[in-house]
Amino acid sequence: MPEGFSFDIIARDGRARRGVLSTPHGVVDTPAFMPVGTRAAVKGLTPDQVAQTGTQIILANTYHLILRPGTDTVARLGGLQRMTGWNRPMLTDSGGFQVFSLAQLRRLDDDGVEFRSHIDGATLRLTPEASITAQNQLGADIIMAFDECPPLPADPAALQAAVRRTLLWARRCRAAHQRHDQALYGIVQGGLDLALRRACLDQLVEIGFDGYALGGLSVGEPPPDMWALLDAFADELPRDRPRYLMGVGMPRDLVHAVSAGVDQFDCVLPTRNGRKGYVFTSGGTLRMRNACHRDDTQPLDPECDCYTCRHVSRGYVRHLFMNSEVLGASLVSLHNIRFFQRLMQRMRAAIEAGCFETWKADFLSSPAAHPREEPR
């Protein structure tokens, strides 16, 4: 691994792993959940507030930062950590997922992707080399190879084409990477095709990366199909390197993935749902605009130790949402991130205690594991 990096597994229980990832900006206990700061900010929260949730690493989005303020500007401001005041580990994605989600705004070939900015319509081109150069300028501890992420379901020809291009671009990303203080992860594609995933992984390992990510999941397939793929494949990723499942964040999905051997996760779910007044709790999901919370003096979650749950009531949080006060979104986002970090802490403790599968069964039978589509 690069200078200043190490990854050590300190406990195992079945395929579940408890590790420590060391980076130039600090350590990350794994399994780890990374809140998403799309534009180098976790919406509505200060870096100190994010740190108080137990978060050790956050994600920023290369695509959005290329558009605004521009990676040259970030570099002149000292890189992401210095610019944001988050002097802790960070990861940047390659921008690929955002580009490929703009299906009506882009044109794809083996060299890269030409797309129109969703901000002003300007035509831009992103190649593997450009993505790596941008991430080198942003300066995150961990950066990602540029890949093609097809939606699911996808026909076999589309999946094979995406894997071919992902591998072509992976080689170019590895060659373009210039900094020795950033870890570069490769991304395994292949949809739900286990043989195609294995073929992709074999070639990525041959190229050589500092960590390996599973991309192209939670993009339209039923959750049980994703769990089956993870169960069959995740533990085949190199055992001495971090394993990262990209863009997955439902509590039950995280637990299934940790059981299969995954170490890192990211998702917008805690803050995106928080801004809408949707609250993750040990007793299930709350919707703060519902009238039943008007006079409720309970905390959001009696089992939670976050600032919101220690200081304010459900009734007050509902009042904030009903009056469009931005503090409501901040308080719920703060709680939701803490909910996810407490979940990761409990999984790490269960792995260390050698009782992960028992803990998993108990959790998956609890209301916390199954947020309803329409929370109460």
CA distance 14 to 31: 14
Q: What is the pLDDT of residue 120?
A: 85
Q: What is the pLDDT of residue 374?
A: 43
User: Among the options 13, 147, 253, 266, which is catalytic?
Assistant: 266
- 3-class secondary structure per residue, the chain: CCCCCEEEEEEEECCEEEEEEEECCEEEEECEEEEEECCCCCCCCCHHHHHHCCCCCEEEEHHHHHHCCCHHHHHHCCHHHHHHCCCCCEEEECCHHHHHHCHHHEEEECCEEEEECCCCCCEEEECHHHHHHHHHHHCCCEEECCCCCCCCCCCHHHHHHHHHHHHHHHHHHHHHCCCCCCEEEEEECCCCCHHHHHHHHHHHHHHCCCEEEECCCCCCCCHHHHHHHHHHHHHHCCCCCCEEECCCCCHHHHHHHHHHCCCEEEECHHHHHHHCCEEEECCEEEECCCHHHCCCCCCCCCCCCCHHHHHCCHHHHHHHHHCCCHHHHHHHHHHHHHHHHHHHHHHHHHHHHCCHHHHHHHHHCCHHHCCCCCCC
User: Among the options 13, 93, 141, 210, which is catalytic?
Assistant: 93
- 13 catalytic per annotation: no
Whole-model pTM? 0.96
Q: What is the CATH number of domain 32-267?
A: 3.20.20.105
Please list the residue range(s) of the chain that carry CATH number 3.20.20.105. Answer: 32-267
- 193 catalytic per annotation: no
Q: What is the pLDDT of residue 6?
A: 98
**Burial class, 194, CB count within 10 angstroms (exposed 0-12 / middle 13-18 / buried 19+):** middle
Under 8 Å between Cβ of 217 and 226: yes
Across the 376 residues of the chain, what is the mean pLDDT of every consecutive 10-residue run?
96 98 98 97 98 98 95 98 98 84 76 86 91 98 95 93 97 97 98 98 98 95 96 98 96 98 97 97 96 98 98 98 98 98 98 98 95 52
